[in-house]
Copies of this chain bind each other. A is one copy, B any other.
Amino acid sequence: MTFYVQKFGGTSVGTVERINAVADKVSGFRTAGHDIVVVVSAMSGETNRLIALAHEFSEQPEAREYDALVSTGEQVTSALLSMALINRGCPAVSLNGGQIQIQTDDVHSKARIRTIESERIDAEIKAGRVVVVAGFQGVDSRGNITTLGRGGSDTTAVALAAALNADECQIYTDVDGVYTTDPRVVDGARRLEQITFEEMLEMASLGSKVLQIRAVEFAGKYKVPLRVLSSFEDGPGTLITTEENEEMETPKIAGIAFNRDEAKITVLGVPDVPGMASKILGPISDKNIEVDVIVQNISEDGTTDFTFTVHRNDLTAALEVANKVASELKAREVKGDDKVVKVSLVGVGMRSHAGIASKMFAVLADASINIQIITTSEIKISVVIEEKYMELAVRSLHSAFELEGPSPVEQ
């Protein structure tokens, strides 16, 4: 008997037929003797319908009420899937964020999970029921409904798997696993049998979009084995684990990630004094704007240039803050650019293999792609380049690092 937490996203529960298909799958697992907690998203389109309703009243709907509104989408799906299961003779019970006591902080629409009560779910599982959880939501300490942000149902699933000590957290999605890069960009992109949390974190945060980054962080922190697999086809998917697979020769590179949603802000001619970086980024973070790449080059004439990237949607707000701070810091100029993308090589094998960075830069140079920013970590090298070169960069790198070949695991 295995204890699975299974998450089904909006496309997987987008219609009555698909909810019935999920019910077939889940009741099959239950019949096979497994304990199952299911986490569901809103039916695809439903969250957008609710958001559109909110925008009929206000361009910037009040955050608390917005969460109270959109969280209903997941509750609807969880009740419907429970009905479908019960109808198949599979005992089931739906629970929302408040009923489980998924306690979060009070940052509406971007809340973070603090604790989860396992008591109620444990009791329901002991009573033989499948527990169907409304994903994406929680409650703050006063009982106000919060949401975890888009993709938050993944986080709900992993957090539940950790809190309940599940054997595996399975994320059912419309792709059948994690690929070496986006198959829509590179024809030869290949599904990975296995990937480490660290690699997956870099892949997810850089735009592979299969899993929400926070879900992977959570899973890595609590060592919850995580599997990405297809709702629509059978197959093993991709397992994300704590361990590098030692039975095979570690491939140098797991994959190539990219992010089209970047915007770049450069503060030019900042006096290079201690605390400068936090003086710029503090007010940005106070506005709840997430910063991705941060680079600062060495100072020459007592001033330096400070560059960071944010989500394109946040560029206007971030520029406003940056301009204010820049004038306080007596910086020379602030520049914004939303025509940039980030492309990254990711792989734990990088650690022990020299020459990957230089090879990467050479490949890009051969394709006449100018590199604007370089940042590196233990297992990742990222470059920010002009938007129009993105596909060319990804394809050139995918081919140069021989990612098209059959997976070593499948050999």
Contacts and interface: CB of A to CB of B under 8 A. Distances in A.
A38 to B, nearest CB: 13
Contacts of A16: 53, 56-57
Interface stretch (A67-75, A286-294, A299-307): A67-75
A93 B143 CA distance: 12
A83 to B, nearest CB: 5
Contacts of A76: 50, 53, 69, 72
Interface in A43-102: 50, 53-54, 56-58, 61-62, 64-66, 68-69, 72, 75-76, 78-80, 82-84, 86-87, 92-94, 96, 98-99
A19 interface: yes
A20 interface: yes
15 contacts: A57-B80, A58-B83, A61-B83, A62-B82, A64-B94, A65-B80, A66-B79, A66-B83, A68-B82, A69-B75, A69-B79, A72-B72, A72-B76, A98-B98, A98-B143
B20 A57 contact: yes
- Give the one of A72, A92, A93 with max B CB within 10 A: A72
Interface string A254-289: 000000000000000000000000000000000000
Given A57-B20, A98-B99, A78 B82 contact: no
B87 A19 contact: no
A72 B76 CA distance: 7
Nearest to A91: B62
Contacts of A62: 82-83, 86-87
A81 to B, nearest CB: 9
Nearest to A96: B68
A93 B65 CA distance: 7
A61 B99 CA distance: 21
A87 B58 contact: yes
A87 B53 contact: no
Top 8 A-B pairs, shortest CB-CB distance: A69-B79, A72-B72, A68-B79, A16-B56, A65-B82, A65-B79, A57-B83, A62-B86
A57 B19 contact: yes
Interface residues of A, number: 38
B75 A68 contact: yes
A83 B65 contact: yes
B143 A99 contact: yes
Contacts of A66: 79, 83
Interface of A: 16, 19-20, 50, 53-54, 56-58, 61-62, 64-66, 68-69, 72, 75-76, 78-80, 82-84, 86-87, 92-94, 96, 98-99, 120, 142-145
A80 B99 contact: no
A68 B61 contact: no
A141 to B, nearest CB: 13
Contacts of A61: 83
A94 B96 CA distance: 17
- Give the one of A82, A92, A142, A144 with max B CB within 10 A: A82
Nearest to A142: B120
A94 B19 CA distance: 30
Contact of A64 (B19, B53, B72, B93): B93
Nearest to A53: B80
A75 B72 contact: yes
A97 to B, nearest CB: 10
A294 to B, nearest CB: 36
Given A16-B53, A62-B83, A84-B57, A94 B68 contact: yes
A17 to B, nearest CB: 9
Contacts of A78: 68
A16 B58 CA distance: 11
Contacts of A144: 99
Contacts of A82: 62, 65, 68
